[in-house]
Amino acid sequence: IYLYNPFPDLQNVCVYQPRLLSTHLPYASLPTSIKDSNSKIVFICRNPLDMFISLWSFLYKLGDESLEPLSLDEAFDKFYHGIYAYGPFFDHVLGYWKASQENPSKILFLKYEDLKEDINSHLKNLAMFLGVPFTDDEEKQGVVEEIAKIYSFENLKEVEVNKKGVHISGIPHTGFCRKGKVGDWSNFLTPFMAERLEKLIQEKMDSSGLTFNLSSKTSKDITSA
């Protein structure tokens, strides 16, 4: 919508109400028109280790064929030092985390790992947050479970448009879907890399109250003291 017109007429462009817009912008960069409005904000983050591997894989696929692909070591060093398109990862995440703590009725902070572990409960919480809770009849009829099935990673990855479609930027939609698994970072990062990132998580998240589940298999958590 915004690619060719920075000031689109959303009233006529978006026929569905309420409108749903997505962005990668950090909270500090959101305009006051959003922060001061009645709009709801749903922020979803992923643990830093899996997020980095997903990012590196994505950028690797998008690399200019005339240039040498960015190695894992190079990408790790940049990520570790906060060189990222939308600002340092931890500043980005903590911006929304702190805002959600201050204004929980406006900002819902979700973690990908939690969604993978118990999607049904989080769907109910999301519906409640948006002001459209499921009715008792809908829950008894299995509506929550059906939505979870329809929008599961496994199902969406097999949707025709995600297998053959092309993004407006020219990127094949297949480039946006990899594995969607928690803890896959262990298949790529060296023990030294993982240790460095874990220490960085503890340093950056100190006293924030935000924790990350790094592996659903080991239930390993990085907890802020």
What is the predicted pLDDT for the residue at 9? 87
Q: Does residue 184 lie within any of the structural domains?
A: yes
Q: Does residue 9 lie within any of the structural domains?
A: no
- Kindly report the CATH number assigned to the domain that includes residue 165: 3.40.50.300
pLDDT per residue as tens digits for the range 150-183: 999 999 989 888 888 787 767 788 878 888 999 9
Q: Does residue 8 lie within any of the structural domains?
A: no
State the Cα–Cα distance between residues 113 and 182, nearest whole angstrom. 6
Q: Does residue 142 lie within any of the structural domains?
A: yes
Q: Return the bridge partners of 107, or none.
A: 41
Q: Does residue 7 lie within any of the structural domains?
A: no
The domain of 200 spans 39-206
Q: Which two tokens stand for residue 55?
A: 């990012």
Q: What is the pTM of this model?
A: 0.87
Strand extents, DSSP E, the chain: 41-45, 107-111, 212-215, 220-222
- pLDDT band per the 50, 70, 90 thresholds, residue 223: very low
Q: Range with the lowest mean pLDDT among 33-42, 52-61, 107-116?
A: 52-61
Q: Does residue 6 lie within any of the structural domains?
A: no
Q: State yes or no: is 173 an active-site residue.
A: no
Q: What total number of domains does the chain contain?
A: 1
The pLDDT of 106-135, averaged and rounded, is: 96
Q: Tell me: pLDDT of 219 over 60.
A: no
Which entry of 24, 81, 92, 122 is annotated as an active-site residue? Answer: 24
pLDDT: which is higher, 106 or 63: 106
